[in-house]
Amino acid sequence: MRKRYENLDAVRSNKSMKDMLRWSKERRSKVKDLTKQIEQSPDKKINELQVNRSRTSFTWIGHSTFFIQMNGLNILTDPVWAKRMGYEKRSTEPGIAMDDMPEIDVVVISHGHYDHLDFPTLKRLKGNPHFFVPAGLKRPLIRRGYRNVTEMNWWDSIEHQGITIHFVPAQHWTRRTLTDINTSHWGGFIFQSWKETYYFVGDTGYFPGFQQIAERFNIDTVFMPIGAYEPEWFMAPAHISPEDSVKAFIELEAKYFVPMHYGTYRLADDTGPEALERLHLAWKKHGLPEEQLKVLLIGGTIFEGGA
């Protein structure tokens, strides 16, 4: 029998058919403005990123996909360039076209849901990346011919070419077929170099794990999900709301907040602009400094120590 993974405190995201029908009825009654989308950056740094091997940077490709350059490594988080997700078309083009991407050294996958693990995208990546994946997810990659694959359990740490990669808890679930629910794990990744510590949260609901992570790490920048939270009675165990993402950021005591997981695929009833508006309102409510919130446009890049 295959192992089934659980959340901290055994929190579950199970929903009944009755819940699904209730959500479907609610969605039909909502009127959403889907004409407003998250904008593309007018100042993309594609040429600089293609040759950069010395400066630390991060670029938002869209959804949960970031291109991170750290310690001379090119890193991708949850790479998904897919034009569709189920019945829904991608709302915005990727921030950098696949053909314009440089060779990739490291790929991390937070969990096996299709909007975070897209095999057609992996097939198109340049280079020969090393994949770091949650426990239980190595087998499907090996089956497709990938050999540089390392599985990680919560709190595992691995030294890799001058950086340390940590796999930390998240509150979520996963499934790709009718029978494989929670047969692989989920979580976030922390990247530590001698200069910076980045925390890629992955997909999560608000949970006590943020406090545990704060006790172990001094985080500079956190890449935090803010979308796919509505309706909250349905989504809360697995998808954090903008308000709770700010609460989590405060608990983490990180320096900078970079929002993600909004505005690319319509996975729930909220829209990208709605998620951003609620994030800004929560930020102001807590009186947090504006300079700590780093909202990127699609394809936007931040170089450490400068724009």
pLDDT tens-digit series, residues 13-60: 888 889 899 988 888 888 888 899 999 999 999 999 999 999 999 999
CB atoms within 10 A of CB 301: 23
Residue 204: pLDDT band with limits 50, 70, 90: very high
pLDDT at 305 over 90: no
- Spatial separation of the C-alpha atoms in residues 207 and 193, rounded to whole Å: 27
Q: What is the mean pLDDT of residues 66-76?
A: 98
> What pLDDT sits at residue 27?
86
> Mind giving me the DSSP string for 88-136?
EEPSS--SS-GGG----SEEE----STTT--HHHHHH-SS-PEEEEETT
pLDDT at 191 over 60: yes
- The alpha carbons of the chain give a radius of gyration, in whole angstroms, of 18
Between β-strands 163-168 and 188-192, what pairing exists: parallel, antiparallel or unpaired? antiparallel
> What pLDDT sits at residue 14?
82
User: What value does the mean pLDDT of the chain take?
Assistant: 96
> What pLDDT sits at residue 306?
55
DSSP lists the bridge partners of residue 259 as 224
pLDDT digits (tens, 9 = 90+) for 120-148: 999 999 999 999 999 999 999 999 999 99
pLDDT at 265 over 80: yes
Are 108 and 189 contacting, i.e. CB atoms less than 8 angstroms apart?
Answer: yes
CA 239 to chain centroid, in Å, comes to: 11
Residue with tokens 């350059």: 69
Both tokens of 210, joined, read 């943020």
Residue 300: pLDDT band with limits 50, 70, 90: very high
> What pLDDT sits at residue 249?
98
Domains of the chain plus CATH, in order, are 39-303 (3.60.15.10)
Q: What is the pTM of this model?
A: 0.97
Residue with tokens 């954090």: 240
Are 8 and 171 contacting, i.e. CB atoms less than 8 angstroms apart?
Answer: yes
Which of 168, 165, 257, 171 minimizes the C-alpha distance to 208? 171
pLDDT at 86 over 90: no
Which amino acid, residue 92?
T
pLDDT at 307 over 60: no
Both tokens of 117, joined, read 């693990």
CA–CA–CA angle 237, 243, 249 (5° rounding): 90
> Mind giving me the DSSP string for 206-266?
S-THHHHHHHH---SEEEEE--S--SHHHHTTTS--HHHHHHHHHHHT-SEEEEES-SSS-
- Spatial separation of the C-alpha atoms in residues 80 and 95, rounded to whole Å: 11
User: Residue 52 region, left (φ>0) first, then alpha (ψ -120 to 50), else beta?
Assistant: beta
Dihedral sign computed on CA atoms, order 293, 299, 302, 307: negative
Which of 17-26, 143-152, 161-170, 268-277 is predicted with the least confidence, judged by mean pLDDT? 17-26
Both tokens of 115, joined, read 């909007």
What percentage of the chain reaches a pLDDT higher than 90? 89
Residue 202: pLDDT band with limits 50, 70, 90: very high
Mapped onto helix, strand or coil, the DSSP state of residue 165 is strand
> What pLDDT sits at residue 31?
86
What percentage of the chain reaches a pLDDT higher than 70? 99
Residue with tokens 């940590």: 166
- Spatial separation of the C-alpha atoms in residues 232 and 230, rounded to whole Å: 5
